[in-house]
Amino acid sequence: MAAVLVRGGTVVNADRSFRADVLCADGKIVAVGEKIDAPTGAEVIDAGGAYVIPGGIDPHTHMEMPFMGTKAIEDFYSGTASALAGGTTMIVDMCIPSPQQSLTDALDEWSDWASKACADYGFHVSITWWSERVAQQMAECLDRGVNSFKHFMAYKGALMVDDEIMFQSFSRCRELGALPLVHAENGEAVFRLQQALLAQGITGPEGHALSRPPHVEAEAVTRAIMLAKITGVPLYIVHTSCRETVEAIARARAEGQRVFGEPLAQYLCLDDSVYRNPDWDFAASRVMSPPFRSKEHQDALWAGLMSGQLQVVATDHCTFLLEQKRLGLDNFTKIPNGTGGIEERLKIVWHFGVNAGRLTPEEFVAVTSTNIAKILNVYPQKGAIVQGADADLVVWDPKATQTISQKTHHSKLDVNVFEGITVQGVPKVTLSRGKVVWRDGQLDVEKGAGRNVPRPPMAPMFEAQAKWNELTRPTGVKREVHIHQTP
């Protein structure tokens, strides 16, 4: 593969920005500095007037996921191609064993599907049941480069786990140096509220939002945080959507817990009025869990990112066609949950974050790439423009504008929840492991070019936590043996 020299841009890392050229060869960044000479045969990309940022990492996707009686339409190829078109060069997908299924069998299945990916990827593995065998297989997942395990506190009767399983699994995560993730919604409360709404005759998509109010999320978030505290392990909360969650995370962090929060690009600019839209298709195509919230919650999520209490913006890209959404035409509880956004994430965060003065370009890089690379222990292989890192980078044009539309997106999905939003700031060129895969609106990707990126366990924060756990471990009281005297 020919070397590529990205010349004349402003490199933006999470810690600082500086004018530099970036030379990539053999899939790696081999030099970052001023006035680098182009090696013979190298391709030169002019980044004058643009930023050069680390490729985005979307740590929460569901390609091809079997869910709610159907299967997500986006496959690993179309999903990662869409990602690259939007400046995201790595995804971490949720591998979800069915209850009683072996974790490693599920990982085989997901790995097989992912072999057509054209960008790098990794997996979180879900814990949907518990046994000694599951505990053993968690270690086997570690050997296969998985260092995070997801727990669904919702979807009663399907994927939901109870406190017993969470306690066991969180404790096992602590032993292994692996990160527990939670989908935090009280599944029992959701189920009861759904039944009450249906009994009241509310069957449309508005019922979805009404059955999952913020306190359903806040209860589960608080419970998960306390279980993480009790079991002595860091915690990552996926798709954080509301003010109460931001507050619970901030409180836990102020008390010294390592808790991370992940708002979605959708939550940062779309609100719950969509569920009351008279067009059923429009409303149903926005059904996801947790649902979009009101402006008050949106502001809290932005404030969380601005203050550093929330660290990562993801998409939870999980896509169902209208025809699939219509499985719930008479009953909102049967509408497959999920929305897309993998191609739009960076543009949305830049436009509503950087252009609005909420985030600096460096903070933008932190929340779209660097922070999650650190949390998942692949930094600085990913998440930074430094010598020796993978050559995943984006020439970002802060002046160019684009109106987002389903007609021009690269997803297989037949709607785009961001339809009609005009953003300023778009990826002009994307490099994936040193190869130009997106340039001026054209994709040039290869099925299967993406690689599984192994993530080692025992990230530095686990070593720190282990020391702390040892220092604060429970101790007994030594007492003199004595004999009771009877009066």
Please give the residue ranges that form the binding site for ligand URP (CB under 6 A): 62, 183, 239, 288-289, 316, 318, 337-338
Q: Which two tokens stand for residue 170?
A: 């969180």
Question: In the complex, what is the shortest distance from the CB of residue 401 to ligand URP, in angstroms, rounded to a whole number?
Answer: 30
Total chain residues near Zn ion (CB under 5 A): 2
One-letter amino acid of 442: Q
Closest residue (Cβ) to ligand URP? 337
Helices (H) and strands (E) in the chain, counts: 16, 18
By CB under 5 A, name the one of 116, 183, 347, 433 that touches Zn ion: 183
DSSP track, 203-220: -STHHHHHTS-HHHHHHH
Peptide bond into 290 cis (omega under 30): yes
Q: Do 149 and 457 form a contact (C-beta atoms < 8 A)?
A: no
Spatial distance between the Cα atoms of 279 and 289, rounded to a whole number of angstroms: 20
Residues in a beta bridge with 426: 397
Q: Which is nearer to Zn ion, 314 or 366 (CB)?
A: 314
Q: How far is the CB of 94 from Zn ion (least distance, A)?
A: 6
Nearer Cβ to Zn ion (183/258):
183
Name which of 158 and 306 has its Cβ closer to ligand URP: 158
For residue 364, what are its two tokens? 């933008």
Question: CB-wise, 9 or 291, nearer to ligand URP?
Answer: 291
Cα distances from 235 to residues 78, 363, 373, in angstroms, run 31, 22, 15
The distance of closest approach from Cβ of residue 428 to Zn ion in the complex, given in angstroms and rounded to an integer, is 30
Residue 405 beta carbon to Zn ion: minimum distance, rounded to whole angstroms = 24
CB of 342 to ligand URP, least distance (A): 13
| Cβ closest to Zn ion, residue 63 vs residue 346 | 63
410 interacts with, out of Zn ion, ligand URP, none, CB within 5 to 8 A per kind: none
Answer with the entry of ligand URP, Zn ion, none that 206 interacts with (C-beta below 5 to 8 A by kind): none
Q: Does 64 bind Zn ion (CB under 5 A)?
A: no
Is the Cβ of residue 316 or residue 344 nearer to ligand URP in the bound state? Answer: 316
Of residues 4 and 184, the one with the C-beta less far from ligand URP: 184
Q: Taking the complex as a whole, how short is the minimal distance between the CB of residue 62 and Zn ion, in angstroms?
A: 5
Answer yes or no: are the C-beta atoms of 51 and 12 closer than 8 Å: yes
Q: Which does 124 bind (CB under 5 to 8 A by kind): ligand URP, Zn ion, none?
A: none
Residues 264-323 touching Zn ion, rule: CB under 5 A, are 316
Binding-site partner at residue 337 among Zn ion, ligand URP, none, CB < 5 to 8 Å by type: ligand URP
351 binds, among Zn ion, ligand URP, none (CB under 5 to 8 A by kind): none
Q: Is 487 exposed, middle or buried (0-12, 13-18, 19+ CB in 10 A)?
A: exposed
What does 338 interact with, of Zn ion, ligand URP, none (CB < 5 to 8 A by kind)? ligand URP
Farthest-apart Cα atoms in the chain, separation: 100
- Shortest distance in whole angstroms from residue 65 CB to ligand URP: 7
Q: How far is the CB of 238 from ligand URP (least distance, A)?
A: 7
Cβ 169 vs Cβ 130: under 8 Å: yes
Query: With respect to ligand URP, which residue has the nearer C-beta, 166 or 354?
Result: 166
Residue 282: burial class (beta carbons within 10 Å; 0-12, 13-18, 19+): middle
Residue 47 C-beta: closest distance to ligand URP, Å: 36
124 vs 409, which CB is nearer to ligand URP?
A: 124
Looking at the Cβ atoms of 3 and 237, the one nearer to ligand URP is 237
Range in contact with Zn ion (rule: CB under 5 A) among 47-55, 181-189, 378-386, 439-447: 181-189
Those residues with Cβ within 8 angstroms of residue 114's Cβ, 6 or more apart along the chain or in another chain? 63, 76, 93, 121, 123, 450, 452
Helix/strand/coil percent split, the chain, to 5:
35, 20, 45
What CA–CA distances, in Å, run from 141 to 90, 108, 171, 356, 450? 19, 10, 16, 42, 20
- 256's torsion region: left (phi>0), alpha (psi -120 to 50) or beta? left
Beta strand ranges found along 38-132 (DSSP E): 43-46, 51-54, 56-61, 66-67, 70-71, 88-95, 120-126
Among ligand URP, Zn ion, none, residue 435 binds (CB under 5-8 Å by kind): none
Q: Report what 433 binds from ligand URP, Zn ion, none; CB cut-off 5-8 Å by kind.
A: none
Binding site for Zn ion (CB under 5 A): 183, 316
